[in-house]
Structure 1
Amino acid sequence: MNVLVKSSSGITQVSADSKLLSQRKVFIEGEISSESACEFIKKILILNEEDTDKPIDVLINSPGGEINSGMAIYDVIQASKAPIRMFCIGRAYSMGAVLFSSGNHGRYMLPHSELMLHEPLLGNRVSGNSSSIQSISESLLETKRRMNQILARHTGKSEEEVEKATSYDHYYSPKESREFGLCDEIVDFNKIMEN
C-alpha cells in the first residue's frame, strides 16, 4: 500500500511501511518467523541509529510463532537504547504475548484486543528414536522454564503462578491482562497517534 506525501519538492508516493517507520512505528504482525524477526531487527537498528532518546512504538497483532525467532526479537527489545512502547492492536498470542509483556517503557492494549499464553509447543510431529525424543522433550522443558522466567520477570508474578497460567491456552482480556501484570494500561487509538 502506498500513501501520498507532500514535501517542498511536490507530492511523492511512499509505502505505508516507510511512512510509519519515519514516525517510529514498527509492526509485529502475522506469524513470527526468522524472516519477520530479521525485518523487525533491521528497523529497530535504523531507528536506534537515528535517535536513541525518541520512543519507538511497536504494534503487535500476531498469533505467535517460532520461539527462536521470538527470542531474537525479545533480545533486541530488551537491549534497545531507544525506549520501546508496546501496543497490542488485535491479538498477541503465545510468543506474541511474551514479546508484548516484555515492554519496559509502556505496554498498552486497545479495548478489544486480547492476549493468550500457553506452554511452548512442538512445531512438527515428533519422530526418531527414544534418545532423540528424550532430547527433544528435555529441550522443550528447558524452553518452558525460560519462558516462565521471562514472564515472571515482566509481570511480577512468581514462576509457579506463571506456570499455572501457561498450563493451558489462557486468554486474557485487557482488564485481565492488566490484573495479571501483562499490560500497563488500556488505551484508545489516539494513544498510538501521539508522537
Structure 2
Amino acid sequence: MNTLVKSSSGIQQISVDSMLLSRRKIFIEGEINPESACEFVKALMVLNAEDTNKYIDCFINSPGGEMNSGLLIYDAIQSSRAPVRLFCIGRAYSMGAVLFACGRHGRYILPHGELMLHEPLLGNRIGGNSSSIQSISKSLLEMKRMMNRLLAGHIGRSEKEVEKMTGHEDHYFNAEECVKAGLADEIVDFAKLLEG
C-alpha cells in the first residue's frame, strides 16, 4: 500500500511501510517464518544504527509460527540497544504471544487484543523409525521447558504457573486477562499507537 507525500520537490508516492519505518514503527504480522524474521531483524538493525536512545515501536498481529524464527526475533528484541515497546494490535498467538509477553520496555494491548499460549507443536508430520521419533519427542520437551522458563522470567511467574498457562490445549487471554496474568502491562487505545 502506498500513500502520497508532499515535499519541496513535489508529490511523491511512498510505501506505508517505509513511512512507518521512518517513524520507528515496525511490524510482526502474519506467520512467523525465516523470511519474516530476517526482515524484522533488518529493520531493527537499521533503526538501531539511526539512534539507540529513541524507542522503536513493534506492532504484533500474528498467528505465530516457527519457534526457531521466533527465537531469532526474540534475541534481536532482547539485545536491541534501542528500547523496543511492544503492542498487540489484534492477536498474538503462540510464538507471537511469547514475543509480546517478553517485552522489556512496555507491553501494550488494544482493548480487543487477544493472546493465545500453548505447548510447542510439531510443524511437520512425524516419520521415521522409533529412535528418530524418540529424539524428536525429547527435543520438543526440551523446547517446551526452555520456552516456559523464558516466559516465567519475563512475566514474573513460576515455571509451574507457566506450565498451566501453556499446557495441553490452547489458552486464550483477552486484554484484561493479559494484564492480570502479567502477559501485558497496560490496555491502551489507538492514540497510544500514534505516539512518537
TM-score band w.r.t. shorter chain: over 0.9
Q: Which amino acid aligns with 1:35?
A: E
| SS of equivalent residue, structure 1 residue 120 | coil
- The match for 1:90 is 90
Which residue type is aligned with residue 96 of structure 2? G
The 5-angstrom pairing of residues 166-185 of structure 1 reads: 166-167=166-167, 168-185=169-186
CA distance in structure 2 between the aligned counterparts of 1:90 and 1:42, rounded to whole angstroms: 24
Determine if the alignment matches structure 1 residue 71 to structure 2 residue 71: yes
Amino acid at match of 1:173: N
Post-superposition shift, 1:6?
A: 1.7
Residues in 2 aligned to 1:50 and 1:12: alpha-carbon distance in whole angstroms: 23
CA distance in 1, matches of 2:3, 2:163: 45
Q: How many residues align?
A: 195
Q: Percent identity?
A: 70
Letter of the aligned partner of 2:98 in structure 1? V
TM-score normalised by L of structure 1: 0.99
Counterpart of 1:89 in 2: which secondary structure?
strand
Extract unaligned runs of 5+ from structure 2. none
Correspondence 1:128-167 to 2 at 5 A: 128-167=128-167
Q: TM-score, normalised by structure 2?
A: 0.99
The corresponding residue for 1:58 is 58
Indicate whether 1:118 and 2:149 are aligned: no
Dislocated runs of 4+, deviation >6 Å = none
Paired letter, 1:190 = A
- Give CA deviations for 1:95-125 in whole Å, capped at 9, x if unaligned: 0000001111000000001000000000011
SS in structure 1 of the partner of residue 13 of structure 2: strand
Question: How far off is 1:7 after superposition?
Answer: 1.6
Letter in 2 for 1:72: L
Q: Secondary structure at the match of 1:87?
A: strand
Task: Give the secondary-structure state (helix, strand or coil) at the position aligned to 1:172.
Answer: strand
Q: Tell me the C-alpha RMSD between the 2 structures.
A: 0.5
Match of 2:164, as an amino acid? K
How far did residue 9 of structure 1 move?
1.5
Q: CA deviation at 1:152?
A: 0.1
Cα distance in 2 for partners of 1:49, 1:101 equals 25
Offset of residue 185 of structure 1 = 0.2
